[in-house]
Amino acid sequence: MTENMLVKEREVVVPGEELAVGMDYLPSEGAFRDGDKILSSRVGLFNLDGRLVKVIPLGGKYIPKKNDTIIGTISDVSPMSWRVNIGWAFDVMVHMREGSREFIPNDADLRRYYAPGDLVVAKIIKSASPKMIDASLKMPGCRKLGVGRVIDVQSSRVPRIIGKQGSMISMIKDATNCDIIVGQNGKIWISGNDHKMEKVAEAAIRKIEAEAHSSGLTDKMSVFLKKEAK
Amino acid sequence: MKKYVEAVLLNNERLDGRKFDEFRKPVEISYDVSNKAEGSARVKIGKTEVIAGVKMDVGKPYADSSDKGNLMVGAERLPVSNPEFLPGPPNAQTIELARIIDRGIRESGMIDLKKLCIKEGELVWNIIIDIYTINDDGNLIDASALAAIAALKNAVLPELVDDKVQWGVFTKTKVPLKFEPINVTVYKVGKSLIIDAGRDEEAATDARLSVSVSETGSVHAMQKGGSTGMSLDEVDKAIGLAIKAVKPLRDALK
């Protein structure tokens, strides 16, 4: 099976580059099939997940996917739904019945639950087309966020910021004593009792974002946090 | 985010750890960024970046100022600098940006417009300043105003033969400038007055006051923006803050 792979794992590929031959593999994110070949559609790192051929982007804008946890701002309230700005070209929709774990009556004023300008954590439940993305505020962890610092990072750096099983982010949380929520769309909410610590948390996240490709980052970060978060 | 910014400021801190009257670093000016323009400059304040160009042309003077040259300032907030800026005709904020810069230059009398007269009532120099925003990380007004002044300082007159401008042939005559007024905008967020607001701070701003300050510390022009008012006391404080905070911009201009 492996002789049909044309590039090595974690190699940088460009759009149009041939990744694999034959029907043994299936194109996934960032790849497409042309005849019996699988080609890349973006600049990124080649990744093989079972039979799935993926290209992980090196940068670029966040593209909403189903089951992503995102942070956004309520931009509009209509009689049956909310619109949430998540940094994507179109606002995503949260229907009334997905709005809250508590029951929302039909004639309720939806502004009482979430008003324009409120910050929320939501989960994408349907992504039919770029213009029609539905999110839910009912899933575990989804809620309205309080006062806190919101920063924007490259969405492709989010996995590195979270770390393996959340190791990196929990290290920052422990060191700075802040609440941190990372959205897959690259928006990060930081809230703590001490504004100085929030600044340290932001600096740490910015450092990870800048040095995402270097190895041994966890050790570097623990040194950085020990120095800064005194 | 607005509530958060206000809370941090009430605690006598800023989001990035600066003092209230401190500009971001570095403040950088590079000259001659365009080889077609008679004068040009690129200004960086932190991550905010603006390019200004000066174009000189001859034309008829206006009837009420037959012995004076003319000044025109145009600004364009390019979509590349901020996702909220749209292409197309300028909107109110873009026009305001150009007007603040125009007022700072015109009302201070920094350009000796009488020296720009070629034949009284017939031919005078027109100075056209164009501002292009490259990146908006807050406080575009101060960066644009500084870029305009720097470009004017850098500008030379083109060659003039038989009352026609020879494009691309520059003389060594500088545009006659008397002094350099620099614009400093004071932002009011909640109850706090700050200088050089970053993007999040600017988004949380209730009101702002742009003050044009010269070397001697005199105020030449002011423009109040934002939907809430400022008390007389706050205006006093804002002017004091602007005069005090202008130093890094003036140092960069030298």
Residue A213's pLDDT is 78
The band of A2, judged by pLDDT with boundaries at 50, 70 and 90, is low
The band of A172, judged by pLDDT with boundaries at 50, 70 and 90, is very high
A117, A147, A199 ranked by CB distance to B4: nearest: A147
Residue B16's pLDDT is 87
For chain B, give the percent of residues with pLDDT over 90: 82
| Total domain count, chain B | 1
Q: Which residues of chain A have a CB within 8 Å of the CB of B192?
A: none
Name the closest residue on chain B to residue A193, using Cα atoms.
B8
Query: Hey, are the CB atoms on A119 and B1 less than 8 Å from each other?
Result: yes
In this prediction, residues A44-64 reach a mean pLDDT of 88
The band of B2, judged by pLDDT with boundaries at 50, 70 and 90, is confident
Distance from CA of B84 to the nearest CA of A (A): 11
> Letter for the amino acid at B158?
P
Q: Which residues of chain A have a CB within 8 Å of the CB of B15?
A: 149, 199
Q: What is the largest CA-CA distance in chain A?
A: 62
B139: pLDDT strictly greater than 90: yes
B126: pLDDT strictly greater than 90: yes
Q: Which residues of chain B have a CB within 8 Å of the CB of A148?
A: 4
Instruction: Verify cis geometry, omega within 30 degrees of 0, for the bond prior to B26.
Output: yes
- Testing the interface with A: which of B4, B84, B199 to mutate, by most A Cβ within 10 A? B4
> Letter for the amino acid at B232?
L
Residue A216's pLDDT is 86
Smallest CA-to-CA distance from A208 within A91, A51, A180, B251 is with A180
At B78, which CATH number?
Answer: 3.30.230.70
DSSP assignments along A65-127, one per residue: -TT-EEEEEEEEE-SSEEEEE-SSSS-EEEEGGGS-SS---TT--GGGT--TT-EEEEEEEEE
Tokens of B140: 């575009």
Query: Which segments within chain A are labelled E, that is strand?
Result: 12-13, 18-21, 26-27, 31-34, 37-40, 44-49, 52-57, 69-77, 81-85, 92-95, 119-129, 132-136, 143-145, 149-152, 178-182, 187-192
Interface residues on A facing B, Cβ-Cβ cutoff 8 A? 117, 119, 147-150, 195-196, 199
Tokens of B36: 């077609």
A135: pLDDT strictly greater than 70: yes
Q: Is the dihedral of CA B35, B41, B42, B48 positive or negative?
A: negative
Q: Which residues of chain B have a CB within 8 Å of the CB of A89?
A: none
CA distance A74 to A117: 5
**CA within 13 Å, CB half, A47:** 13
Query: Hey, are the CB atoms on B1 and A150 less than 8 Å from each other?
Result: yes
Q: Which residue in the block uniquely carries the two structure tokens 């929302």?
A: A104
Residue A4's pLDDT is 79
In this prediction, residues B78-89 reach a mean pLDDT of 92
Average pLDDT over all residues of chain A: 90
DSSP state of B88: S
Q: Are A58 and A44 spatial neighbours (Cβ–Cβ below 8 Å)?
A: yes
The band of B136, judged by pLDDT with boundaries at 50, 70 and 90, is very high
Q: Which residues of chain B have a CB within 8 Å of the CB of A196?
A: 13
Q: What is the pLDDT of residues B11-62, one digit of tens each?
A: 898 988 899 999 998 999 999 999 889 999 999 999 999 999 999 999 999 9
Domain containing residue B48: 2-253
The band of A106, judged by pLDDT with boundaries at 50, 70 and 90, is confident
Residue A115's pLDDT is 94
The band of A214, judged by pLDDT with boundaries at 50, 70 and 90, is confident
For chain A, domains (ranges, CATH) are 2-57 (2.40.50.100), 69-145 (2.40.50.140), 149-228 (3.30.1370.10)
The band of A57, judged by pLDDT with boundaries at 50, 70 and 90, is confident
Q: Are B192 and B14 spatial neighbours (Cβ–Cβ below 8 Å)?
A: no
Instruction: With 0.95 as the threshold, say if the pTM is over it.
Output: no
Residue A73's pLDDT is 94
DSSP state of A36: T
Q: What is the pLDDT of residues A4-43, one digit of tens each?
A: 788 888 889 999 999 989 888 899 888 999 988 999 999 9
> Letter for the amino acid at B217?
G
Q: Is B131 on the interface with A (CB under 8 A)?
A: no
Q: Is B10 on the interface with A (CB under 8 A)?
A: no
The band of A3, judged by pLDDT with boundaries at 50, 70 and 90, is low
The band of A168, judged by pLDDT with boundaries at 50, 70 and 90, is very high
Q: Are B26 and B246 spatial neighbours (Cβ–Cβ below 8 Å)?
A: no
- Integer CA distances (angstroms), B54 to B30, B51, B213, in order: 14, 10, 22
Q: What is the pLDDT of residues B219-234, one digit of tens each?
A: 999 999 998 999 999 9
Q: Which residues of chain B have a CB within 8 Å of the CB of A199?
A: 15-17
